[in-house]
Amino acid sequence: MPRPLKASAVFGLLMRQQVRRLSRAARSPGQRLVTVIMGLFAVYMGFTLVVSALYFPVFARQMAAGVDPVELVNRHALPVLFGLFAMRFLFQKTPKVQLQPYLHLPIPRTQLVTFFAAASVVSAHNLFPLLFVVPFALAQLAPEFSQRAAWSWILGAFALLLASNFANLYLRTLLHRRERVFLSILGGFALVGLADEYTGAHLLRAVSSGLFTSLLRGDPVTLLAFGVFVASTAVLAGAALLESIRTQSTENAPPRRAGRLHELAERWDVSGHLVWLELRLMWRNRRPRHYLLVSMLFSTVYLVFLLASPRAFGGFVFAAMMGLFASGGFVLNYGQLMFGWDSGYWDGLIGRNIRTRVMARSKVIVLQASCLVLFFVSLPLFLWLRPELVPLHVAFLFYNAGVTSQIVMELAVRNRDRVDLARTGGFFNYEGFSARHWLWFIPTALPPTLLIVALRDRPDLAWSALAIAGLAGLAVTEAWVQRHATLLDRSKYRMAAGFRRDA
């Protein structure tokens, strides 16, 4: 019987494999442009943070004249960290998906959890703040206090970043398993924060100033408290991750029901059957259903805020956003992962005698039909709040159905990441998304926005141009479908490999 590997050897193997995975992802043909863009953005952000740290006294005099720059940073350090935590919570994923492929190997799960929880520390959410913290401490604190005080301050700030990282892992894991507990914690923090601001006590700023001033004095009790806090959040995060993979929940799995498809679907062709299966997948699984509900919210509640907003920028940007989300909210939210939703059974789907043209057509039908449904859902709001914008709503119905849905399908045929319908779902879940999905909103939203701005003196002409473009897109739908099918034929096996990689 082979002897089990030592923990150090296991961690070394996992580290090399993760480096290899990231390297291959960055060099993949479809990811190279995104890698270059994100790299340039990272360099710009890093340069901005370093320069801000080195010349912070100059900026501080403009922000708050007569205030000590060190005291200004100490007083706002915790509020800024809370703001960064909110961004981290929205965008930083838990490592559960990454460790799933290793669960069948003879590696203790505690070692897997330990490695991936520790590997989550190497994140832009932790590295970028350090690009301000370290130069600021060495350039501003060391000359005024001492090198020891500066490094004590750096260690304290880094400890809070680590605690924020592990707290995010814990809360996101808690969200998927105990939503009520998570919402209770979130509500408690929100109430405390609102009470602090409403009363004008600013207790968080006072606590921040006291903690970081104590770090500058090199207080060992404060450093010990920070260390205990980091260790506690790390233990909580590890325990939550371990529990989540030990007790894989099937509460979101679609129920098995006897019976046939809807009697109407029995008379449809293959495209009709695929459309019906898409609708059933959407309603029976938590995460697709969540995207459906979010799309309805965009077309109702969010639309009310846009319709009632002041006409900033002449109202042109708001007009484009209203038109896109009012009838195209489902396309923009659900449509980006149109083939990712099928990742769990993609091998079986492409193994069947189903032409890719038929598969692409069924997806396009779902997206175009959603534009019509959301149009009628949001039409009463336009008639009630802004009847003069009804022509805009009609124009974007055609544009979203004829153009936006096809642009989003161009992204969907490039899905490579698995989406687990049985074990994922809920708010703030970005499994299956990549930087490409966030950048794709630019070619989707920019053309109608530029058109509306260019024809701001002739809004009737802008609406007509959008409607004509949409009608032209609808007229050549079959040509779009053929293009999607051609791309799907070229990439369906790469898609399958990507879906299996995270299985």
The parent domain of residue 328 ranges over 265-501
Q: What is the mean pLDDT of residues 94-107?
A: 77
Is there a domain that residue 66 lies in?
yes
Confidence of residue 382 (pLDDT cuts 50, 70, 90): confident
Handedness of CA 365, 366, 367, 369 (dihedral sign): positive
Tell me what pLDDT residue 260 has. Answer: 45
In a shared domain, residues 270 and 391:
yes
Judged against a pLDDT cut of 60, whether residue 458 lies above it is answered with yes
Is there a domain that residue 260 lies in?
no
Tell me what pLDDT residue 250 has. Answer: 42
Judged against a pLDDT cut of 70, whether residue 343 lies above it is answered with yes
Judged against a pLDDT cut of 80, whether residue 257 lies above it is answered with no
In a shared domain, residues 284 and 431:
yes
Tell me what pLDDT residue 247 has. Answer: 59
Judged against a pLDDT cut of 60, whether residue 253 lies above it is answered with no
- Which of 246, 281, 306 is the last residue in one of the domains? 246
Q: If we measure between CA atoms, which residue out of 211, 192, 208, 126 comes closest to residue 162?
A: 126
Which residue bears the tokens 């959410």?
125
Which residue would you say has higher pLDDT here, 441 or 383? 383
Judged against a pLDDT cut of 50, whether residue 480 lies above it is answered with yes
Tell me what pLDDT residue 310 has. Answer: 46
Percent of the chain with pLDDT over 70: 78
Which residue would you say has higher pLDDT here, 253 or 243? 243
Judged against a pLDDT cut of 50, whether residue 354 lies above it is answered with yes
Q: How many CA atoms lie within 13 A of 420 on its CB side?
A: 18
For residue 13, what are the CA distances in angstroms to 4, 7, 152, 409?
A: 13, 10, 34, 38
Confidence of residue 124 (pLDDT cuts 50, 70, 90): confident
Is there a domain that residue 222 lies in?
yes
In a shared domain, residues 270 and 128:
no
Is there a domain that residue 259 lies in?
no
Q: What is the mean pLDDT of residues 84-110?
A: 76
Is there a domain that residue 257 lies in?
no
Which residue bears the tokens 């119905």?
397
Mean pLDDT (the chain) is: 78
1-17, pLDDT tens digit by residue?
456 667 777 778 888 88
Q: Residue 78 region, left (φ>0) first, then alpha (ψ -120 to 50), else beta?
A: alpha
Q: If we measure between CA atoms, which residue out of 220, 79, 78 comes closest to residue 160?
A: 78
Confidence of residue 31 (pLDDT cuts 50, 70, 90): low
In a shared domain, residues 92 and 135:
yes
In a shared domain, residues 77 and 218:
yes
Cβ count near 316 (within 10 Å) = 20
In a shared domain, residues 218 and 353:
no
- Which of 192, 212, 246 is the last residue in one of the domains? 246
Is there a domain that residue 1 lies in?
no
Confidence of residue 422 (pLDDT cuts 50, 70, 90): low
In a shared domain, residues 230 and 310:
no
Tell me what pLDDT residue 432 has. Answer: 53
Q: What is the mean pLDDT of residues 165-171?
A: 85
Q: What is the mean pLDDT of residues 255-276?
A: 58
In a shared domain, residues 302 and 332:
yes
Amino acid making up residue 305: F
Confidence of residue 219 (pLDDT cuts 50, 70, 90): confident
383-403, pLDDT tens digit by residue?
877 788 888 888 888 999 899
In a shared domain, residues 409 and 338:
yes
SS3 304: helix
Amino acid making up residue 426: G
Exposure letters 450-461 (e unless 16+ CB within 10 A, then b): ebbeebeeebee
Tell me what pLDDT residue 1 has. Answer: 43
275-292, pLDDT tens digit by residue?
888 888 887 777 777 777
- Which of 246, 275, 308 is the last residue in one of the domains? 246
Q: Which of 156-165, 219-228, 294-303 has the lowest mean pLDDT?
A: 294-303
Q: Which of 67-76, 286-295, 365-374 has the lowest mean pLDDT?
A: 286-295
Q: If we measure between CA atoms, which residue out of 309, 442, 463 comes closest to residue 386?
A: 309
Judged against a pLDDT cut of 80, whether residue 24 lies above it is answered with no
How many structural domains compose the chain?
2
In a shared domain, residues 58 and 200:
yes
In a shared domain, residues 214 and 321:
no
Tell me what pLDDT residue 261 has. Answer: 43
Which residue would you say has higher pLDDT here, 252 or 301? 301
- Dmax over Cα atoms in the chain, in whole Å? 81
Residues with Cβ within 8 Å of 268's Cβ and at least 6 positions away in sequence, in order, are 275, 276
Tell me what pLDDT residue 172 has. Answer: 77
Q: Which of 309-313, 405-409, 432-436, 493-497 has the lowest mean pLDDT?
A: 309-313
Confidence of residue 262 (pLDDT cuts 50, 70, 90): very low
Is there a domain that residue 186 lies in?
yes
Which residue would you say has higher pLDDT here, 318 or 346? 346
In a shared domain, residues 231 and 283:
no
128-166, pLDDT tens digit by residue?
899 999 999 998 888 888 888 889 899 989 999 998 888
Is there a domain that residue 451 lies in?
yes
Identify whether the C-beta of residue 303 lies closer than 8 Å to the C-beta of residue 327: no
Q: Which of 283-297, 332-346, 419-433 has the lowest mean pLDDT?
A: 419-433
Which residue bears the tokens 């998570």?
182
